[in-house]
Amino acid sequence: MKDAMSTVLMLAIVAGSMAFGWRTALADGHAATATSDLKNINGDTIGMANLQQTAHGVLVHIKVSDLPPGKKGVHFHAKAHCAADTGFKSSHGHHGEEDGAHGLLNPAGPGKGDLGNIFVGTDGVGEMEVFKTGATLDGGDLPLLDADGTAIVIHAEADDHISQPIGGAGARIVCGLIDAG
């Protein structure tokens, strides 16, 4: 019971720090949290992503509004660059992904950029929380906050978790730069 209470308390602290946008560092100086303002193709901020480093990966919480309803593929992209005039293609391909490795259902996957789908309701609001095992904000082999940064991209369609190279997710409709702040 004591371990369960400790876990609940730790989760409450993490959730509180994410909700208030606190930016903290781990004992070794690496970033413990990061955020991303998510913008549509018109440059309007329509949501936010909060990222929390853990001992075994990164917890990602995304909330958006003003999107068409349905499932939308979400990925980490290789460059922290969200030029609307390129349809957000300036963010390049998926973060750290090797050819043929895309997809949560792919025997060669999942790729390091695969996050799954966000579900957007008829009110235009979507929210998701996903844990990306093995990911790091900074430090490690392929950090999200590396020299050229990383973007979070939401696509127009659902990710089918296996089609190459992007799961059939279609056009990029939302992009945000991950920032340690």
Query: 2-177: which CATH topology?
Result: Immunoglobulin-like (2.60.40)
Per-position DSSP letters for 112-164, written without gaps between them: TTEEEEEEE-TTS-EEEEEEEET--SSSSSS-TTSTT--EEEEESS---SSST
pLDDT for 27: 45
Domain map (residue ranges) of the chain: 2-177
pLDDT for 75: 96
Alpha carbon distances (Å) from 119 to 65, 113, 123, 160, 175: 11, 18, 11, 13, 16
Strands 70-77 and 114-120: antiparallel
pLDDT for 19: 41
What backbone phi and psi angles, to 5 degrees, belong to 177? -85, 130
Q: Would you give per-residue pLDDT tens digits along the chain (181 residues)?
A: 444 444 333 444 444 444 434 344 444 555 699 999 999 999 999 999 999 999 999 999 999 999 999 999 999 999 999 999 999 999 999 998 877 888 899 898 888 999 999 999 999 999 999 999 989 998 888 899 999 999 999 999 999 999 998 999 999 999 999 998 5
Q: What percent of the chain has pLDDT over 70?
A: 82
Q: What is the pTM of this model?
A: 0.82
Average pLDDT, the chain: 85
pLDDT for 181: 54
